[in-house]
């Protein structure tokens, strides 16, 4: 089933010069870029994006991090795109993520873990509408 999912290449990915490396993994898998933009977000956009996490202990430093510099927001499309992106991204904690995944190969951090991918179809629809309202259906 063709799906769309919202992906963020977080500020650590941009700062470390890994945008091309990470994007090439999604493209090599066969996913298509539907929208892509370099953007620096404010606290309000972070709160909307991470609405499910705003009360968590780890959220204030996460917000500091995601608002600290430019990130790349994109929408990827393809067969089972939501699940496929999550698999390519790997487990949340880069120290525990499996080798071969983006986080497993390139991140050594639980917070600065390079990428975000929507965790389900409902989240994908909500997040695409939030980041790229012109694509909302
Ligand atoms: P996910 O990005 O793999 O879906 P979530 O549990 O939804 O992971 O958490 C959102 C983001 O919050 C993570 O990608 C990571 O940047 C950060 N995060 C999650 N848990 C922790 C933690 O325990 N310590 C620090 N940062 C965390
Ligand atoms: Mg999540």
Domain extent for 9: 2-135
- Tokens describing residue 60: 């204030």
Taking the C-alpha atoms of residue 23 and residue 38, their distance in angstroms, rounded to an integer, is 13
Q: Is the CB of 29 under 6 A from ligand 1?
A: no
Domain count, the chain: 1
Residues surrounding ion ligand 2 at CB below 5 Å: 119
Angle between helices 19-29 and 81-89 (to 10 degrees): 130
Q: Report the catalytic residues.
A: 116
Taking Cα atoms as reference points, which of 37, 7, 32, 28 lies closest to residue 114?
Answer: 7
CB 19 within 8 A of CB 9: yes
At 109-128, the pLDDT tens digits run 999 999 999 999 999 999 99
Domain CATH for 30:
3.30.70.141
Query: How high does pLDDT run on average in the chain?
Result: 98
pLDDT at 4 exceeding the cut of 90? yes
Average pLDDT over residues 35-64: 98
Average pLDDT over residues 40-60: 98
Mutate to test the pocket of ligand 1, among 111, 117, 123 (most ligand atoms within 8 A of CB): 111
């Amino acid at each position: 089933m063709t799906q769309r999912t919202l992906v963020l290449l977080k500020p650590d990915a941009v700062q470390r010069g890994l945008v091309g490396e990470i994007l090439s993994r999604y493209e090599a898998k066969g996913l298509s870029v539907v929208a892509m933009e370099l953007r620096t977000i404010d606290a309000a956009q972070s709160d909307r994006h991470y609405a499910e996490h705003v009360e968590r202990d780890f959220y204030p430093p996460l917000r500091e991090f995601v608002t600290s510099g430019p990130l790349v927001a994109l929408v990827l499309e393809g067969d089972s795109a939501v699940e496929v992106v999550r698999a390519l991204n790997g487990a949340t904690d880069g120290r525990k993520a499996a080798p071969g995944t983006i986080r497993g190969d390139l991140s050594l951090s639980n917070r600065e873990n390079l990428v975000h991918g929507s965790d389900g179809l409902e989240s994908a629809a909500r997040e695409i509408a939030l980041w790229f309202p012109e694509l909302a259906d």
